[in-house]
Structure 1
Amino acid sequence: MTPTSPERRRKLTLSEAFRIFLRQPSPWIIATLFVGALIARVAVGDWQLTDALVPLIMLALFPVVEWIIHVTVLHWRPRHLGRFTIDSLLARKHREHHTRPGDIPLIFIPWQTFLWLIPALVAIALLVFPRPAMGLTFLLILGVLGLNYEWTHYLIHTDYQPTGRIYKAVRRNHRLHHFKNEHYWFTVTSSGTADRILHTYPDPGETPNSPTAKALHSAA
């Protein structure tokens, strides 16, 4: 008797993926920042036309900022200064993420990062912008961008199959970064605009497979 072939594993639905997403700490931390900024923004008032520039500029710059953070912070190569090693938690966790891209906790921003990141962002909002209201708008939009980043990055690393053309491109590019060559395709939430501008968007067919895509900075 011919053995029955194993049943193909069922694909994750979007609602199932969302329930898993809600069990992670970083979306809740970012959502708390968003809600707090929203309440404060409404309470402060002081609505002016210049507030509309904040989301427009942030949305325009975010792909490039995302690229810079990915290249310089997440792909940081450990440096040695005498007996000390300069290596951040974000960089260490990102190397682990490349080693085990399907490990769900490693997909998300480590919660410990927010212990310094949120105070730093609040200080920027209060000290850099000309009006507190504008700074609160900055925090508000940053919360939206942060939640979108965490959701998009998480969904890319699940087996959920996208249907939209843009999200298919986003997913394809990031998976090329992880499974083909870690030196290219650094954007996560966009379809590669910053990569094209910064010359890290090669033709996949002409790009060699990297032996260190799952072991960043190791010898080939």
Structure 2
Amino acid sequence: MKPFTLFGKTFDLSVGRTHRAHHANPADLSDITINKEVFPTVVPLLFVLAYWLFPTVELATGALAAFFVLSLHYEFCHFIGHTAWCPPINYYRRRQRMHRLHHYRDETLWWGVSTGLGDLLLGTAPDIKSVEKSPTVHNVHGLLR
């Protein structure tokens, strides 16, 4: 998320700043997890929505459990994309490779961290040989100084 102007005032949200910093130095493992500032707002909202939208407590609880398991899966895939460890399972090696291409080849491609389905549907996982290295791969939005 790049800064935006509203009523003459520019806003640069923390989520955007930390994501740009993450792209500036992808080898830094200190802040690669889901932004901690999200949890106090999003988690209670998820609980309220789940128990409001689903017709039974069991379905709401199951949906929340699935969401949190998938969130952990995302975090794991994102972590291995930033480490030198080579996963023994091909699925995770592929996720690792795609995420590295996103950080070191072109920030506008290979968005899928934990699954490649979105990239397949959106056409954002082309053959690597057809993609030149992006000049802004470490300076997304050209905003880092």
TM-score normalised by L of structure 1:
0.61
Partner of 1:65: none
1:144 to 69, 72, 80: 69
Larger Rg: 1
2-structure distance, mates of 1:125, 1:85: 34
Partner of 1:127: 52
Say how many residue pairs are matched. 143
What value does the CA root-mean-square deviation take over the aligned residues? 1.5
Partner of 1:62: none
Partner of 1:118: 43
SS in 2 for 1:188: coil
**Residues 94 and 106, structure 1, Cα contact 8 Å, conserved in 2:** no
SS in 2 for 1:217: helix
Aligned pairs for 1:17-166 (under 5 A) are 76-166=1-91
Structure 1, unmatched stretches of 5+, are 1-75
1:214 to 120, 124, 138: 138
1-structure distance, mates of 2:85, 2:17: 27
Letter in 2 for 1:133: E
Same amino acid, percent of matched pairs: 34
TM-score normalised by L of structure 2:
0.91
2-structure distance, mates of 1:130, 1:177: 40
1:199 to 120, 123, 143: 123
1-structure distance, mates of 2:29, 2:84: 12
2-structure distance, mates of 1:199, 1:165: 22
1-structure distance, mates of 2:91, 2:75: 17
Change (3 A) 1:88 1:135: farther
Letter in 1 for 2:19: H
TM-superposed deviation, 1:91: 1.9
Change (3 A) 1:82 1:194: same
TM-superposed deviation, 1:99: 0.6
SS in 2 for 1:80: strand
TM-superposed deviation, 1:168: 1.4
Name which structure has the greater RCO, CA cutoff 8 Å, separation 6+.
1
Structure 2, unmatched stretches of 5+, are none
